[in-house]
Structure 1
Amino acid sequence: MSAAPAGPPAPAPYPYAAPDLKGVRLRSPRGLAIALAVLFALVVGTDLFAVFADWNLRSLMERVLADSGSVSAAELNRGDTMNGVAGTLQSAATLVTGIVFIVWFHRVRTNAEVFAPGADKRKRGWAIGGWFVPIANLWIPYRIAVDTWGSSTPFAADGSYRRVRLTAVNCWWGVFVLSTLVGRYASRVYGHAETADALHSAATTMLVSDALDVVAAALAVLFVRKLTAMQHAKAAQGPVVAAV
């Protein structure tokens, strides 16, 4: 998978700034997009390791339920340690990737405001703060992504406005939210599991959660690449006046 988003070469510097944004100019998101492609690959790697750890724990609990004497203490300890390591690696990879993603998200949101001043419903600071508002963070970033997507859509060849389907945005956000909710539930179930049957159920839920994380990370890369390419294409067009 190529790390560089497709699209025309970026002008240096970008060709224009919105006149009413007090000097705010376009900044290329390509470097951040490349870094995110690498980081999301790392996230996928840790998630796959977690899937393996979940499957291993689930298999151990199946053996315990069938015959408790068939599983040694050493195997149980290794399974528990593997899950702990997987969780630590996932947390570290997710934290670093999340920080870089929010920086990229704020940059493309700022660029969108230059492309179409006043078109976005929330101030660009929400591209950062919106992720940290309980409950609302399941909706605010999505709306910002939709507005940014619309403002970043390049003009048609004749200078008229055109629409690009929101499939990449909707798929990424839908799986991301589902993965987040299932992950929270899985962590709660695993934290309260004390019996072999409960651990078996928890491992199954964690396996589903980690598999969803893999899909969400892959869709996030597609979203980042597509939006970055759209902004490059629109930046290269300059301040085109849309046809009436």
Structure 2
Amino acid sequence: MSAVPVGPPPPSPYAAPDVKGVRLRPPVGLAIALTVLFALVIGFDVFAGYADWNTRALMERLLADAAAVSDAELDRGDRLAGRAGMFQGQVTIVTGIVFIIWFHRVRTNAEVFAPGADKLPRGWAIGAWFIPLANLVLPYWIAVSTWTSSTPSGADGHPRRFRLALVNLWWGTFVLAKVLAWYGGRSYAGAETTEDVRSAATTMLAGDVLDIVAAVLAVLFVRRLTAMQHARAAQGPVVAAV
């Protein structure tokens, strides 16, 4: 049998020349890493939620009967809550770092797809997260602009429509979860009575539940935007941008 000639592999859609000094870079690997990290976030949120529920249950028993809860149970509850907070904080920091790297990459790619569409320089995709109060709004604006600029074209040559509902749901849930976690943590640290501890634990539990929802929505957002950019790059984004 004669060997079947094998042609050269198709060129990568990301192996393209610079557009105004900006080069497309694939976000797929970072998106996979984020999927794994957000799964860990969800797992530790469940653990933290259980710790908060346990604290709340202990406080309910104390309010009903002060002699119904032993010092050993209270110590175990404190240790459980401490471990949950430590693990939750560590995985959140690692996930946040990788997310910001991915966020900056997709924002940079969007500048190739639609130069000048975003009024903020691409460096804001990093800096916007560290400005108090402004970090409640600026990353959302960048996400919306990146989402819009990354929309691939359909078979008719017109941009396909990808609704912003996913972006809005993710960001709204994310912000609310962080606000509840911040408020619950401060309330817990300053609690002076059993009722104060119960109230703080309830708030933190609600924050953990919302954080689980936000993590699921974040995975959907990351995977959808990454897929959009991959499809947009395969359509020849550099030529379209120029």
TM-score above 0.5: yes
User: Could you say if the C-alpha distance between residues 186 and 11 of structure 1 is closer, same or farther in structure 2, counting changes exceeding 3 Å?
Assistant: farther
Number of residue equivalences: 231
1:13, CA displacement in angstroms?
5.2
The answer to which of 162-171 and 135-144 deviates more is 162-171
Cα distance in 2 for residues equivalent to 1:11 and 1:40: 32
**Does the 8 Å contact 1:115/1:151 carry over to 2?**
yes
Cα distance in 2 for residues equivalent to 1:87 and 1:11: 47
Cα distance in 2 for residues equivalent to 1:198 and 1:226: 42
**Does the 8 Å contact 2:13/2:236 carry over to 1?**
no
Answering whether residue 69 of structure 2 is matched by residue 82 of structure 1, we say no
Q: Secondary structure at the match of 1:16?
A: coil
**Does the 8 Å contact 2:13/2:234 carry over to 1?**
no
> 1:75-154 to 2 correspondence within 5 Å?
75-154=73-152
1:180, CA displacement in angstroms?
1.2
Cα distance in 2 for residues equivalent to 1:17 and 1:117: 15
Partner of 1:14: 14
CA RMSD of aligned residues (A): 1.5
1:123, CA displacement in angstroms?
0.6
1:11, CA displacement in angstroms?
5.2
**Does the 8 Å contact 2:188/2:201 carry over to 1?**
yes
**Does the 8 Å contact 1:172/1:223 carry over to 2?**
yes
Match of 1:226 among 211, 224, 227: 224
**Does the 8 Å contact 1:18/1:115 carry over to 2?**
no
Cα distance in 1 for residues equivalent to 2:124 and 2:77: 41
Q: Secondary structure at the match of 1:70?
A: coil
- Residues 10-65 of structure 1 show CA distances to partners (whole Å, capped at 9, x for unaligned) of 9525153453x22x211110000000000000000110000100111111111111
Q: Secondary structure at the match of 2:67?
A: helix
**Does the 8 Å contact 1:15/1:236 carry over to 2?**
no
Answering whether residue 38 of structure 2 is matched by residue 40 of structure 1, we say yes
Cα distance in 2 for residues equivalent to 1:208 and 1:155: 41
Partner of 1:235: 233
Q: TM-score, normalised by structure 2?
A: 0.92
- Residues 194-235 of structure 1 show CA distances to partners (whole Å, capped at 9, x for unaligned) of 211111111111110111111111110000000000000001
- Residues 78-128 of structure 1 show CA distances to partners (whole Å, capped at 9, x for unaligned) of 001100000000100000000000000000000000111111121100000
The answer to which of 183-192 and 31-40 deviates more is 183-192
Partner of 2:189: 191
Cα distance in 2 for residues equivalent to 1:15 and 1:118: 22
Match of 2:167 among 166, 169, 178: 169
- Residues 145-192 of structure 1 show CA distances to partners (whole Å, capped at 9, x for unaligned) of 000000000012122233310011101000001111111111111011
The percent identity for this pair of structures is 66
Match of 1:216 among 214, 219, 223: 214
**Does the 8 Å contact 2:113/2:240 carry over to 1?**
no
**Does the 8 Å contact 1:127/1:141 carry over to 2?**
yes
Partner of 1:6: none
Partner of 2:47: 49
Q: Which has the larger radius of gyration?
A: 2
Q: Structure 1, unaligned stretches of length 5 or more?
A: 1-9
The answer to which of 192-201 and 101-110 deviates more is 192-201
